[in-house]
Amino acid sequence: MPEFCRLEVSEGVGTIRLDRPKMNALNVQVQEEIRAAATEAAERDDVRAVVVYGGERVFAAGADVKEMNDMSYTDMVKRSGALQSSFSTVARIPKPVVAAITGYALGGGCELALCADVRFAADDAVLGQPEILLGIMPGAGGTQRLTRLVGPSKAKDLIFTGRFVKADEALAIGLVDRVVPADQVYDEAVAWARTFVGGASYALRAAKESIDRGIEVDLETGLEIERQQFAALFATEDRATGMQSFVEHGPGKARFQGR
């Protein structure tokens, strides 16, 4: 049984719940439990969307510095790939994923939030990539995902300075997508995720893959990825259901089976 990170499922929404007191420090064990929870969420048919949540007090304050302090160069050469891939497992969940950010999302915590499709933050949340203050740099996707999200200049400002970003600035620069009162963050995230329960799951999967893969390539290649995904959806029952429902009843009334 996982000790610090588990998948909780309710009414079609899976919550990847971090629970390592006091600050959800992301040590090796937590990283591997995140990988397991994300893999389970991806594979379970009863999970149609995912919330990543660290609890009411904190999302995740970063890596376990005490653990890293004892690691040598060769130790980190062996570990760094697994660190990145554990977070990438969250990014590759083929379903809508929202991060519900409370308290601090710093370093690895911010990098974990970047793996979600969207980010909802408490109005008192604080985000940042302060690794430079430890004499290192982000190593779990921060230099890449943050840059793709907010652009190179803003990413360099945050990473070079290591400064903390409050929720209002995070919203202004596009680091988060919604700011809500702290006691409403998780409920808002679940409500967003629940809109996809009963949705056209293969179309959602295809759209997510087209966006995520397309942003890494040139426009022509991206358009070809989109074309192939679009055409493939005509092999699904949901496509037939959705179009027939539209013809007979108008938009937004189809009941999809995820097939």
CATH code: domain of residue 208: 1.10.12.10
Q: Please compute the mean of the pLDDT values over residues 80-96 and round it to a whole number.
A: 95
Residue corresponding to tokens 């690895």: 108
Give the catalytic positions in this structure. 63, 108, 111, 131
For residues 113 and 66, the model is more confident at 113
For residues 88 and 77, give the distance between their C-alpha atoms in angstroms, rounded to a whole number: 18
The pLDDT of residue 252 is: 85
The pLDDT of residue 253 is: 85
**Domain limits at 244?**
201-249
Do 103 and 231 fall within a single domain? no
Assigned domain for 259 exists: no
Domain count, the chain: 2
CA 87 to chain centre: 9
The pLDDT of residue 254 is: 87
The pLDDT of residue 214 is: 96
Assigned domain for 149 exists: yes
For residues 220 and 88, give the distance between their C-alpha atoms in angstroms, rounded to a whole number: 25
CATH code: domain of residue 118: 3.90.226.10
| SS3 at position 210 | helix
For residues 164 and 168, give the distance between their C-alpha atoms in angstroms, rounded to a whole number: 12
Do 217 and 179 fall within a single domain? no
Assigned domain for 256 exists: no
- Residue 111: CB atoms within 10 A of its CB come to 29
Do 218 and 111 fall within a single domain? no
DSSP letter for 43, please: H
For residues 223 and 210, give the distance between their C-alpha atoms in angstroms, rounded to a whole number: 9
Do 208 and 245 fall within a single domain? yes
Do 50 and 163 fall within a single domain? yes
Rounded to two decimals, the pTM is: 0.94
The pLDDT of residue 186 is: 98
The pLDDT of residue 136 is: 95
> Which residue, of 176, 194, 212, is where some domain finishes?
194
Average pLDDT, the chain: 96
The pLDDT of residue 95 is: 98
Q: Please compute the mean of the pLDDT values over residues 227-256 and round it to a whole number.
A: 93
